[in-house]
Amino acid sequence: MIQLEGLTRRWPGTTGAAVSDLDLHVPEGTSCALIGPSGSGKTTTLRMVNRLIEPSSGRLRIAGEDALRQDPVRLRRGIGYVIQEVGLFPHRSIAENVATVPRLLGWPAARIAARVEEVLALVGLDPARFAARRPHQLSGGERQRVGVARALAGDPPVLLMDEPFGAVDPVRRRQLQEEVLRLLKQLRKTVLVVTHDVEEAVRLGDAVAVLRDGRLVQHAPAAELLAKPADGFVAEFLGSDRALTRLSLFPARVVRGEAAAPGAPLPAGSTLRDALAEMLARGTRAVPLAEGGSVTLERLLDHAAPG
């Protein structure tokens, strides 16, 4: 788990703090997305957790240990870090890039080689095709996958991600988000992810923390945040389409007693938001599901306006 208590960062020569008295708890095996306007302190917060930025005051516990008393270099070897620009070494092969942390950890060569193959496969890159290439021989999306593989290579319990899919086009982005999310859940990583994209935040975060001027204004499960923004600032930041965004959190499933509607069934893995889009496109009040039964407009309204 990651636990921030009163964490604060002041920059020399500035009035006020970039991050002020921040309390945040990310339980083990869960993810928290940090969102907020530009300059609200998201990246500063993230980089205080791996101490690329030293906190001015406050406490930081990672996996039960006082992280501010640990040697920062050793601390970082236990924390995966994924950034938008990926930051791969351009003159080293993909395999060498992925091997960075295991090598620093002093693993034997055979174990490193096996691990490189394993994590490349985990992120959907065939080691036989990619291991020997240089970063410039990959697409942006493939490089991003390498960034995730590299962060996972040393099997750290904690992962920090800063706009991890910012450089990926919107279509591949959703696919990559879903794959990485599935992977992180399967590996039970504790994750703190920074994004400016509300949809990405609710998709990746079990909980979402909203920052404003370096202060935490709301920290709640994604569905609760979208249903009940704490104030006008949060509501505006989440956008007037937040009820629509919320529908994307719920899978389209059969509710007993609903007869099958006519027409082509929704593809497997569709969300209630996809169901609404289909209803609008077809001009119907219900769409059928492949497993039988339907999603109805009434059901969508129940989810969009919870009690």
Site residues for ligand ATP per CB under 6 A:
11, 18, 36, 38-44, 196
Task: Name the residue nearer to ligand ATP (CB basis): 68 or 83.
Answer: 83
Q: What angle do CA 147, 192, 207 make, to 5 degrees?
A: 135
Shortest CB 214 distance to ligand ATP, Å: 7
Shortest CB 52 distance to ligand ATP, Å: 11
Shortest CB 69 distance to ligand ATP, Å: 24
Task: Name the residue nearer to ligand ATP (CB basis): 11 or 89.
Answer: 11
Shortest CB 95 distance to ligand ATP, Å: 31
Spell 95-108 as b/e; 16+ CB within 10 A means b: bbbbbbbbeeeebe
Task: Name the residue nearer to ligand ATP (CB basis): 42 or 173.
Answer: 42
Distance CA 92, CA 77 (A): 20
* Cβ 6 vs Cβ 59: under 8 Å: yes
Task: Name the residue nearer to ligand ATP (CB basis): 44 or 100.
Answer: 44
Shortest CB 39 distance to ligand ATP, Å: 4
Task: Name the residue nearer to ligand ATP (CB basis): 59 or 196.
Answer: 196
Shortest CB 121 distance to ligand ATP, Å: 32
Task: Name the residue nearer to ligand ATP (CB basis): 31 or 44.
Answer: 44
The three-state (H, E, C) secondary structure of the chain, written as one string? CEEEEEEEECCCCCCCCCEEEEEEEECCCCEEEEECCCCCCHHHHHHHHCCCCCCCEEEEEECCEECCCCCHHHHHHCEEEEECCCCCCCCCCHHHHHCHHHHHCCCCHHHHHHHHHHHHHHCCCCHHHHCCCCHHHCCHHHHHHHHHHHHHCCCCCEEEEECCCCCCCHHHHHHHHHHHHHHHHHCCCEEEEECCCHHHHHHHCCEEEEEECCEEEEEEEHHHHHHCCCCHHHHHHHCCCHHHHHHCCCECCCCCCCCCCCCCCECCCCEHHHHHHHHHHHCCCEEEECCCCEEEHHHHHHHHCCC
Task: Name the residue nearer to ligand ATP (CB basis): 15 or 186.
Answer: 15
Shortest CB 20 distance to ligand ATP, Å: 11
Shortest CB 147 distance to ligand ATP, Å: 18
Task: Name the residue nearer to ligand ATP (CB basis): 134 or 212.
Answer: 212
Side-chain half-sphere exposure of 35, counting CA atoms within 13 A? 28
